[in-house]
Structure 1
Amino acid sequence: MTPAGYFEAIDVNRYKPTPHAGGAWHRDEQHFSPLGGLVVHAIDRHRAAGPDDGLVLSRISYDILGRLALDECEIEVATVRPGRTIELVEAVVRIAGRPVVRARAWFLARLDTAEVAGGADERLPRPESLAPWPMSEVWPGGYIASLDVRPVAPPEPGRTTAWVATPLALVAGVMVTPLASYLALVDTANGIAVRQPPTAWMFPNVDLTVHLHRQPHGAWTGLDTTVAFGPSGQGLTSTVLHDVDGPVGQAQQILTVRPVPGM
């Protein structure tokens, strides 16, 4: 039977990716999106071992240091800057003993600021009202095949707004926080608004940075995404993140743009 999750827990710090985590660029690699959620799960476990300080994750930045082999990974987490109202936590993912992802997360105090809350609050159409889009027609890989993608309008080159959800657990048989599940889908943004066919051009991201002004909730991750390619081999994927109640933050991904060898 195929495991009903993207990862299986081996012990408290080690995880094995399942075929559902398979990458879109190469079949022997894992997609970064569920791994990004797994990092948040590891950070959650690290912080849960200490006192409940009421802090919430407000920014997380990931640097992808190398090839993400579809193999067992180990995640080490440490508190870099402890504090009662502000805390910085770092996580390092290793595969075969080599660091492949380094992430840093800022946690900020949760306070009642409803009186002054404001900003963009336009909601996307609810996902239940939208038709699914077979994203596997554009991308291969187990991760993409696992998704339920509901675009607000037909995807266009460099511009798409869509809801993304999955029926799979992040870690098979393990409860994770709603935030870990939400962030496990954010890296999908770089694949929903392709400017050029991935059979002709490669544009993988080497990082992902997420800023949150509100904690998301619900099973759907909303991605209002724009992709730009520059003239000298760089690109940028910019996304306003939503839940069903409206915007929750933004995500940015820098891309290395290059033609597929042989094309």
Structure 2
Amino acid sequence: MAYFERVGDAAYRATEEVGGAWDTATQHIAPALGLLVHVVERDRDARRTDGIVVGRLSYDILGTIPIEVVDVRVRVVRPGRTVELVEAALSHGGRDAVLLRAWLLRPGDTAALRGTAYPKITPAEDMAPWDPSSVWPGGFIESADVRREQVEPGRAAFWVRTAVRLIDEEDVSPLARAAGLFDIANGMTVRADPKEVAFPNVDLTAHLFAEPRGDWVGFDTTVTFGPTGIGLTSSVLHDTHGPIGTLAQILTLRT
């Protein structure tokens, strides 16, 4: 099983595994975000061999995408020896659906300086399994293995992994695999019933100070609804070793 199948050098066919939560006839955006990371890393590795790494992923989600073939493209916006800005786009039928701007940074040995005030969350093996399909439909949600520790509606820690490959018969990095799960954060501790209130996100930005390791991606998430139709889902990202970065998604609230 895979979310995408390569059908050309810059074209991928989505499978039914990407079925969306708001509309099962369109793609859940999460796997597409992982696909764009893969595209950026593939382009980077074709151009340079110095080990430059992704530090920030900033996506703009321009619209829905049918479960069909999508095209991707990459360009270097700001080349550099130690800092580089790369832009990638995912489109369908000639229309851009997702734009990504990624900052790539030169790594170095800062182990002696390592530290954060972000607390660790309960390990996945100590959290109870939770079935997200009890709240959401769609192939992508069904493919997610979730463990959750809910504090209240809109506040929870949880772990997510999937047995579904990002791309059929193609190896991807741990970051691309993890990024293909990032967008699930907005639906794992809902503040309101999605049958009564819609709260899709129109962007997603991840800042990463460590590369993810392992199959599990952890989230320490807070969902906030403002008084004027705008909300925010903010998360601290984890792997099994501890915090690795932060994630934010701006929401449009529709009643």
User: Which category describes the TM-score, using the shorter chain as reference length?
Assistant: over 0.9
1:119–1:154 CA distance, 2 compared to 1 (3 A): closer
Aligned counterpart for 1:29 among listed residues 12, 26, 31: 26
In structure 1, the residue matched to 2:169 is 173
Tell me the equivalent position of 1:203: 199
* Alignment partners' CA distance in 1, 2:237 and 2:5: 28
- Percent identity of the aligned residues? 49
Contact 1:80–1:90, Cα closer than 8 Å, also in 2: yes
Question: 2:37 aligns to what SS in structure 1?
Answer: helix
1:242 partner letter: H
- State the partner residue of 1:212: 208
- CA-based RMSD of the aligned residues comes to 1.0
| Correspondence for 2:125 among 114, 117, 128 | 128
TM-aligned CA deviation for residue 147 of structure 1: 0.5
Alignment of 1:1-263 (within 5 A): 4-120=1-117, 122-151=119-148, 153-154=149-150, 156-259=152-255
Task: Give the secondary structure class of the aligned counterpart of 1:181.
Answer: helix
- Per the normalisation by structure 2, the TM-score is 0.97
What are the superposed Cα offsets for residues 33-78 of structure 1, whole Å, 9 maximum, x if unpaired?
1110000011111111112122110001000111222221001011
Q: Is the 8 A contact 2:150 2:189 kept in 1?
A: no
Deviation at 1:121, TM superposition (A): 5.3
SS in 1 for 2:100: strand
Distance verdict in 2 for CA 1:155–1:35, change over 3 Å = farther
> Deviation of residue 126 (structure 1)?
2.1
Q: Conserved in 2, the CA contact under 8 Å of 1:123 and 1:244?
A: no
- Deviation, 1:183, is 0.9
Kept in 2, the 8 Å contact 1:53–1:84? The answer is no
Where structure 1 has 5 or more consecutive residues not aligned to the other structure, the ranges are none
Q: Is the 8 A contact 2:232 2:248 kept in 1?
A: yes
Q: Which runs of 5+ in 2 are unaligned?
A: none
Q: Which amino acid aligns with 1:225?
A: T
Secondary structure of 1:190 counterpart: helix
Q: What is the TM-score normalised by the length of structure 1?
A: 0.95
Q: Against the structure 1 CA distance between its residues 155 and 38, is the aligned structure 2 distance closer, same or farther, given a 3 Å change threshold?
A: farther
Q: Following TM superposition, by how much is the alpha carbon of 1:155 offset from its aligned partner in structure 2, in angstroms?
A: 5.9
Q: Deviations over 1:105-161 (max 9, x none)?
A: 00111011112221125332221232210110000000000000001x236311111
